[in-house]
């Protein structure tokens, strides 16, 4: 009986550099190349989508990312895995919807309906009528912000008290609840932001209906794509990345025909046609944004992020901030100063070649950012220090 193949951490870092379009010669020509390579781009912080894509494009530009998001609609923004906002290739949207987004949408509708009904003065019929009126207004306008829709639909101007009696009690317009549920269900989509590309305030548009796929095959399809991009992975990695139960995770892995391999973390999985080692790429450096899909791609991260470096690079909720990479390892962090310059600090000395390459990446980032100022939606200790 032959022993299971072992995949060392160095081979995993080589795969990361090539398959995540970070190594020399591996970068993508179009934003769709990046989305396919990573399966999904984190979009909780709107700036992350552009920063993550441009770090992997041969010719980084905001216009290229916006083309895919808002002109050609080859990318779709969805609330899906782990109830997190992602941007995925449009053709993958039905798979993501059936495998992860649909259950999230069901929970969102139940939660918001309960909140509105508890607030008093709202009924299930009232909610349904408000939703239909909002959709009708959007069809008439084509695209509109929440304030414009509220001007057309009086129901959207209603307010409710959230967390009454608590120190963080607040009043909210019903529009945020109604539009949020419609978006989670894929009935409307986020169009161009009301401000610049870093803005989190979006216009809305009616979405094209997604094809309805069965849940089981969709989960197997999503698992297959994740393994192709991130493999080898543990079952715990896939469970964490998707938000599935352990049972569903194991079923999805089995459906891909994945083979077991030994990792430092235990048992890993690779697609059956992906067991050969790949050549070590040329040395590479990268400055990746907060919540980058590579940095957030695995549950077990010791093979690319030394536990000793996590305190300055992560916030208290486990969100990773802007990171500096060298040959598949996180070795520092970066931030943009108020004057627009890029500051970084290396927490591990990787040598002169690394310092030179990282400096060039910082210049590249500052170049395409131009006069735009960015700030992560959450702050990490090192990012605060660098901007202070």
- Tell me: the pLDDT tens digits for 189-248? 999 999 899 999 999 999 999 999 999 999 999 999 999 999 999 999 999 999 999 999
Instruction: Say if 349 falls within a structural domain.
Output: yes
Q: How confident is the model at residue 3 (pLDDT cuts 50, 70, 90)?
A: confident
Instruction: Say if 41 falls within a structural domain.
Output: no
What does the block give as tokens for 52? 């993550």
Q: Is the pLDDT of residue 121 over 90?
A: no
Q: Is the pLDDT of residue 268 over 80?
A: yes
Q: Per residue in 327-379, pLDDT tens?
A: 999 999 999 999 999 999 999 988 999 999 999 999 999 999 998 999 888 89
Task: Outline where DSSP puts E strands in 105-209.
Answer: 159-162, 170-173, 188-193, 202-206
pLDDT attached to residue 1:
43
Task: Outline where DSSP puts E strands in the chain.
Answer: 41-42, 75-79, 85-89, 159-162, 170-173, 188-193, 202-206, 259-263, 266-270, 285-288, 323-326, 329-336, 342-346
User: CB atoms < 10 A from the CB of 42, how many?
Assistant: 25
Instruction: Say if 343 falls within a structural domain.
Output: yes
Q: Helix or strand or coil: residue 71? A: helix
Angle between helices 215-230 and 235-242 (to 10 degrees): 120
What does the alpha-carbon distance between residue 345 and residue 313 come to, in Å, rounded to a whole number? 11
Instruction: Say if 13 falls within a structural domain.
Output: no
| Under 8 Å between Cβ of 67 and 29 | no
User: CB atoms < 10 A from the CB of 373, how many?
Assistant: 13
pLDDT attached to residue 182:
97
Q: Specify the residue for token string 């990361």.
A: 16
pTM of the model: 0.94
Instruction: Say if 319 falls within a structural domain.
Output: yes
| Structural domain for 353, as ranges | 285-387
pLDDT attached to residue 160:
86
The mean per-residue pLDDT over the stretch 77-104 comes to: 97
Please choose, from the candidates 185, 229, 311, 188, the residue with its C-alpha nearest in 3D space to the C-alpha of residue 19: 229
The more confident residue out of 254 and 1 is 254
Instruction: Say if 369 falls within a structural domain.
Output: yes
What does the alpha-carbon distance between residue 138 and residue 196 come to, in Å, rounded to a whole number? 22
Q: How confident is the model at residue 2 (pLDDT cuts 50, 70, 90)?
A: low
Q: Per residue in 33-53, pLDDT tens?
A: 999 999 999 999 999 999 999
Instruction: Say if 43 falls within a structural domain.
Output: no
Instruction: Say if 35 falls within a structural domain.
Output: no
Q: Per residue in 312-339, pLDDT tens?
A: 999 988 899 999 999 999 999 999 999 9
The separation between the first and the last C-alpha atoms of the chain, rounded to the nearest angstrom, is 59
Number of structural domains found in the chain: 1
- Residues with Cβ within 8 Å of 349's Cβ and at least 6 positions away in sequence, in order, are none
């Amino acid at each position: 009986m032959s022993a299971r193949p072992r995949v060392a951490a160095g081979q995993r870092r080589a795969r990361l550099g090539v398959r995540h379009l970070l190594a020399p010669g591996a970068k993508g020509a179009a934003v769709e190349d990046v989305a396919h390579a990573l399966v999904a781009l984190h979009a909780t912080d709107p700036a992350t989508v552009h920063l993550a894509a441009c770090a992997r494009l041969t010719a980084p530009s905001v216009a290229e990312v916006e083309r895919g998001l808002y002109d050609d609609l080859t990318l779709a923004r969805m609330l899906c895995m782990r109830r997190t906002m992602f941007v995925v290739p449009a053709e993958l949207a039905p798979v993501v919807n059936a495998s992860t987004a649909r259950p999230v949408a069901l929970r969102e509708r139940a939660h918001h309906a309960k909140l509105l009904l508890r607030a008093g003065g709202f009924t299930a019929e009232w909610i349904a009528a408000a939703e239909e009126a909002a959709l009708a207004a959007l069809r008439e306008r084509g695209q509109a912000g929440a304030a414009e829709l509220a001007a057309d639909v009086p129901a959207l101007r209603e307010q409710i008290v959230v967390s009454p009696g608590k120190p963080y009690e607040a009043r909210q317009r019903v529009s945020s609840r109604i539009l949020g549920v419609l978006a989670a269900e894929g009935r409307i989509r986020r169009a161009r932001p009301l401000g610049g590309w870093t803005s989190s305030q979006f216009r809305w548009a009616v979405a094209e209906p997604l094809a309805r796929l069965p849940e089981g095959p969709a989960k197997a399809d999503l698992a297959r794509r994740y393994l192709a991009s991130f493999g080898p992975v543990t079952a715990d990695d896939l469970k964490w990345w998707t938000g599935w139960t352990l049972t569903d995770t194991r079923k999805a892995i089995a459906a891909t025909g994945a083979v077991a391999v030994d990792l430092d973390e235990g048992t890993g999985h690779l697609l059956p046609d992906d067991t050969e080692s790949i050549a070590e790429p040329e040395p590479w450096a990268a400055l990746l944004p907060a919540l980058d899909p590579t940095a957030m791609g695995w549950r077990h991260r010791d093979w690319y992020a030394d536990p000793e470096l996590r305190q300055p690079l992560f916030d208290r909720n486990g969100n990773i901030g802007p990171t500096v990479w060298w040959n598949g390892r996180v070795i520092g962090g970066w931030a943009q100063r108020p004057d627009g310059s890029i500051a970084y600090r290396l927490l591990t000395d990787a040598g002169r070649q690394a310092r030179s390459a990282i400096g060039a990446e910082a210049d590249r980032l500052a170049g395409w950012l131009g006069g735009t100022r960015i700030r992560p939606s959450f702050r990490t200790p090192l990012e605060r220090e660098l901007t202070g």
